[in-house]
Chain A
């Protein structure tokens, strides 16, 4: 089973690339909260038998939305199938209200729309798109907040190029020609923002603008304030929702007792 600070209890049989498993699993997000499942504590266990991985996904309640539960299970499967030596992935959802249907569909690689056709199911691509965009705005709001706190004016924020912002240890530093060097904010905030921009296929070359809209267009200075206010509300919505889910899950774990995977 896997052992890591995020995932302390699992040990794997020899012959599997533990780092690759953790790295890939660590990238699977709750699409609605835009947070890694491992950090949310939603991954309860992981075992491998003869190349077949069994992952237990425990959500805060048995009524967590079926479409999002399906997406998480599907993403876990895709992430782990790419690891050498892993030939099959089963995601188990415990007492979730649609556990059996989701487990069967995901294991068979059956799309949500087919699995839940009788339930008004439809493709999930549009829904994924909406939440990737919300995640983008939320990540960007944190970066914008840090840039403002670092004393950057709207004009500076909109003029920054990716190459002028460099991670250094836990922070990032801003170096613009003809201006004094400025300590920016958290390197993790910058990394998460650029990660989502890479997923969107934005130009991330050193001369590309740092702050763009979700479509990759540069931000006009006069638009920044209103844009920031909107992004702020998106960030609060996502974070508050995440706090709600964590509180409910924590209580569920405490009530159920026993050893748990801690985030």
Chain B
């Protein structure tokens, strides 16, 4: 809980990870270069005193995570964005199997994302149904650029992806987080091209599509889609990190999102452990849109808007009643230890 002038702000970290990138888990050299790339994002955009050594970054463990999010980091609830990467990591990077362990210990603190891979085609339907039945899955995290054998990715408008989305909807899933962010490995076109979201959002009007990293570096394409589709939302991780090193661009990105999408469709995310919620939220709460930007875009980042971004919007999508959930969290193990 973040406290501002005596008023509590309920915080949901919409995008975080509990990964295992220990060298023992690296399957190929890509396991090493992948986590090094994340570490470069981490050290390139974090404040100097928040930068971790590479070893800690590979595997920070449960206690560090709980502390960084819920004790020092103001976070009330966090969405585990499962990422698999079985081609790079022997046991996966942070699968729903790995993530469910920490979810089981703190059930009211986490929302767990599962996933599907349309390249499994029909053979994967049973596994998907089993995952939905056996794990407390609240949403899905889709990673369209994931490697698989000779394939270097897939698209949300692939016919099999539509079948899985229909299956997800039948299973009661409402929220689909789609990673569309800094380009990693491409198809020839552009693996993080956001336009496939447009088709899926039109075909599945009852599902919500949260585009993680607001499509950066495809912010423009993302904005056009989100303007047309009422069920497309902006996940702010990566964009949040600009608040420290490049506040000018942070202001311009936020102004564009407020201009095109409005204040009800933006969701805070840290991308922990790439960046940490404590400093992101401290700097975000202290940040004000510069006067010239306010006037040019006719938008403002008011306290109400910040409250929506930090928690209320995600709570609405996930059906969380903030007063009831806050009461529940006040007496859980993490709160007890924090108070003690």
* Stretch from A3-11, A84-92, A113-121, A194-202 that touches the partner: A113-121
* Stretch from B66-74, B102-110, B119-127, B242-250 that touches the partner: B242-250
B217 at the interface (CB under 8 A from A): yes
Q: Which residues of the other chain, B, contact A64 by a CB distance below 8 angstroms?
A: 183
Query: Complex formed: what's the CA distance from A123 to B189 in Å?
Result: 8
User: B182 to nearest A CB, angstroms?
Assistant: 7
CB distance A63 to B44 under 8 Å?
no
A-B contact count (CB 8 A): 122
Point out the residue from A67, A236, A244, A251 that lies within 8 Å of B182, measured CB to CB: A244
CB distance B33 to A122 under 8 Å?
no
CB distance A65 to B252 under 8 Å?
no
- From known contacts A63-B34, A233-B220, A243-B249, infer whether A121 and B188 are also in contact, taking CB-CB under 8 Å: yes
Point out the residue from B45, B183, B218 that lies within 8 Å of A237, measured CB to CB: B218
User: A11 to nearest B CB, angstroms?
Assistant: 30
Q: Which residues of the other chain, A, contact B191 by a CB distance below 8 angstroms?
A: 65
Query: Complex formed: what's the CA distance from A118 to B188 in Å?
Result: 11
User: B46 to nearest A CB, angstroms?
Assistant: 9
- From known contacts A119-B152, A237-B217, infer whether A61 and B187 are also in contact, taking CB-CB under 8 Å: no
Query: Complex formed: what's the CA distance from A252 to B45 in Å?
Result: 11
User: B48 to nearest A CB, angstroms?
Assistant: 10
The dominant DSSP class at the A interface is helix
Query: Complex formed: what's the CA distance from A191 to B44 in Å?
Result: 32
* Stretch from B7-15, B35-43, B171-179, B320-328 that touches the partner: B35-43
Q: Which residues of the other chain, A, contact B184 by a CB distance below 8 angstroms?
A: 63, 65
- From known contacts A121-B188, A236-B253, A240-B252, infer whether A63 and B33 are also in contact, taking CB-CB under 8 Å: yes
B219 at the interface (CB under 8 A from A): yes
CB distance A97 to B249 under 8 Å?
no
- For residue A239, which residue of chain B has the nearest CB? B249
CB distance A134 to B220 under 8 Å?
yes
User: B162 to nearest A CB, angstroms?
Assistant: 20
- From known contacts A64-B183, A241-B217, A243-B246, infer whether A97 and B189 are also in contact, taking CB-CB under 8 Å: no
Q: Which residues of the other chain, A, contact B41 by a CB distance below 8 angstroms?
A: 61, 248
- For residue A247, which residue of chain B has the nearest CB? B44
CB distance A240 to B183 under 8 Å?
no
CB distance B40 to A251 under 8 Å?
yes
CB distance A248 to B40 under 8 Å?
yes
CB distance B246 to A62 under 8 Å?
no
Query: Complex formed: what's the CA distance from A127 to B193 in Å?
Result: 11
Q: Which residues of the other chain, B, contact A250 by a CB distance below 8 angstroms?
A: 44
CB distance B246 to A247 under 8 Å?
yes
Q: Which residues of the other chain, B, contact A95 by a CB distance below 8 angstroms?
A: 33
Q: Which residues of the other chain, B, contact A208 by a CB distance below 8 angstroms?
A: none
B residues 51-105 with Cβ under 8 Å of A?
none
Q: Which residues of the other chain, A, contact B36 by a CB distance below 8 angstroms?
A: 61-62
Query: Complex formed: what's the CA distance from A234 to B45 in Å?
Result: 22
B235 at the interface (CB under 8 A from A): no
Provide the A51-67 mask, 1 if CB < 8 A to any CB of B, else 0: 00000000011111111
Point out the residue from A120, A127, A240 that lies within 8 Å of B253, measured CB to CB: A240
CB distance A97 to B44 under 8 Å?
no
CB distance B43 to A255 under 8 Å?
yes
CB distance A237 to B188 under 8 Å?
no
Provide the B125-154 mask, 1 if CB < 8 A to any CB of A, else 0: 000000000000000000000000011110
- For residue B147, which residue of chain A has the nearest CB? A119
B290 at the interface (CB under 8 A from A): no
Query: Complex formed: what's the CA distance from A64 to B259 in Å?
Result: 30
A32 at the interface (CB under 8 A from B): yes
Q: Which residues of the other chain, A, contact B37 by a CB distance below 8 angstroms?
A: 61-63
9 closest Cβ pairs, A-B complex: A122-B188, A241-B217, A237-B219, A65-B183, A248-B44, A251-B44, A240-B249, A63-B37, A61-B37
A127-B190, A240-B253, A244-B242 are known contacts; what are 13 more A-B pairs with Cβ within 8 Å?
A65-B185, A112-B188, A120-B151, A120-B188, A121-B188, A232-B256, A243-B249, A244-B45, A244-B217, A244-B238, A248-B45, A250-B44, A252-B40
* Residues in chain B within 8 A of chain A (CB atoms): 30, 33-34, 36-37, 40-41, 43-45, 150-153, 182-191, 216-220, 223-224, 238, 242, 245-246, 249, 252-253, 256, 259-260
22 sample A-B contacts, Cβ–Cβ < 8 Å, listed by A number = A61-B40, A65-B183, A65-B185, A65-B186, A65-B191, A67-B189, A67-B190, A97-B185, A112-B188, A127-B189, A236-B220, A237-B218, A240-B246, A240-B252, A240-B253, A241-B182, A243-B245, A244-B217, A244-B238, A247-B245, A248-B44, A251-B43
* Residues in chain A within 8 A of chain B (CB atoms): 32, 60-68, 95, 97, 112-113, 116, 118-124, 126-127, 134, 229-230, 232-234, 236-241, 243-244, 247-252, 255
